[in-house]
């Protein structure tokens, strides 16, 4: 099975910077070796779509509006993303949960809205440091997944990837041990099994994200049950990101 590799540029790179990045990245990246998804800022989607045309690379956005109502000044709908060539969208990233006060109700609505517009969802879940220190990692994951997936049909999970991203690991240089990730992935699959089915639990794709670098990537390349990785800061330099990708092949 090919590994999934997701880049999250966050609020980095103007369209011209994205163009420069892709000129270098695309000249060296070998398609078909991984399932690559580039989650870019809205303003870079159009240039990226043009540049990755005919390549085996998926285009992702980092957010979408939770409804299709007209009175949503400043928002971007799932329909707009789909029509821009976007196939994937991040939902529930911890920065959006914390900074933009996105609660589980909003996250659930965003997922449904994305799926309705035929977008694949990358649902981010993960415990805070306080949760970790009080042994609440697994109960937090359970709560976040159950609330996010409320009301979904089992067949919709085909279009969903769960990204395990401990809040304390994002951008901090700290990472969980392979054993901790393995336990979290097992717990995530268990929730899916209880809420949907054994088959859904086996088939759901789960990736890890948080402070991945070329130095520590070997730790994440062969964790039992893990289907790939989500890379933030280290995806911003094309040569660094390529090193990470190559370690996943």
Task: Kindly determine how many residues on this chain lie close enough to bind ligand PGA according to the rule CB under 6 A.
Answer: 13
Sites for ligand PGA among residues 154-183 (CB under 6 A)? 165, 170-171
Instruction: Give whole-number Cα distances, 122 to 7, 117, 130, 148, 214, in Å.
Output: 12, 14, 24, 11, 23
Q: Taking the complex as a whole, how short is the minimal distance between the CB of residue 62 and ligand PGA, in angstroms?
A: 9
The residue from 34, 120, 211, 238 that contacts ligand PGA (CB under 6 A) is: 211
**Maximum distance among all alpha carbons in the chain?**
48
Q: Is 230 in the site for ligand PGA (CB under 6 A)?
A: yes
Q: Is 92 in the site for ligand PGA (CB under 6 A)?
A: no
Find how far residue 91's CA is from the centre of its chain.
Answer: 8
Reduced to 3 states (helix: H, G, I; strand: E, B; else coil), residue 101 is coil
Look up 93 and say whether it is catalytic.
yes
Q: Is 209 in the site for ligand PGA (CB under 6 A)?
A: yes
Reported as type and span, the H/E element at residue 82 is helix 78-83
C-alpha 146/C-alpha 243 separation (Å) is 35
Per the residue annotation, which of 17, 69, 93, 203 is the catalytic one? 93
What sign results for the dihedral spanned by CA atoms 205, 32, 111, 196?
Answer: negative
Sites for ligand PGA among residues 2-21 (CB under 6 A)? 8
| Helices H / strands E in the chain, number of each | 10, 8
Q: Which stretch binds ligand PGA (CB under 6 A): 41-49, 56-64, 195-203, 209-217?
A: 209-217
Q: Which residue's CB is nearer to ligand PGA, number 162 or number 200? A: 162
Q: Is 62 in the site for ligand PGA (CB under 6 A)?
A: no
Per the residue annotation, which of 95, 102, 127, 165 is the catalytic one? 165
C-alpha 131/C-alpha 171 separation (Å) is 18
Q: Taking the complex as a whole, how short is the minimal distance between the CB of residue 54 and ligand PGA, in angstroms?
A: 28
Look up 146 and say whether it is catalytic.
no
Residues with active-site annotation: 93, 165
Could you list the residues that contact ligand PGA (CB under 6 A)? 8, 165, 170-171, 209-212, 230-234
């Amino acid at each position: 099975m090919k590994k999934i590799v997701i880049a999250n540029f966050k609020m980095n790179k103007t369209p011209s910077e994205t163009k420069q990045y892709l000129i270098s990245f695309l000249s060296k990246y070998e398609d078909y070796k991984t399932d690559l998804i580039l989650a870019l800022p809205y303003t870079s989607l159009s240039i990226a779509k043009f540049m990755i045309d005919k390549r085996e690379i998926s285009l992702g956005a980092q957010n979408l509006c939770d409804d299709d109502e007209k009175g949503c000044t400043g928002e971007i709908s799932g329909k707009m993303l789909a029509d821009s060539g976007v196939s994937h969208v991040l939902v529930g990233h911890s920065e959006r949960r914390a900074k933009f006060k996105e609660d589980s109700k909003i996250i659930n609505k965003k997922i449904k809205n994305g799926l309705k517009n035929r977008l694949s969802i990358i649902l981010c879940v993960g415990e805070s440091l306080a949760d970790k220190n009080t042994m609440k990692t697994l109960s937090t994951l359970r709560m976040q997944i159950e609330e996010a997936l409320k009301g979904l049909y089992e067949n919709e999970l085909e279009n969903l990837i769960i990204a395990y991203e401990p809040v304390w690991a994002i951008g901090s240089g700290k990472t969980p041990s392979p054993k901790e990730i393995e336990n979290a992935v097992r717990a995530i699959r268990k929730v899916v099994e209880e809420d949907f089915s054994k088959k859904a639990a086996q088939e759901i794709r789960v990736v890890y994200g948080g402070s991945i670098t070329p130095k520590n990537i070997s730790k994440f390349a062969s964790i039992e049950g893990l289907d790939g990785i989500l890379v933030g800061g280290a995806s911003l330099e094309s040569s660094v990101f390529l090193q990470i990708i190559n370690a996943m092949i």
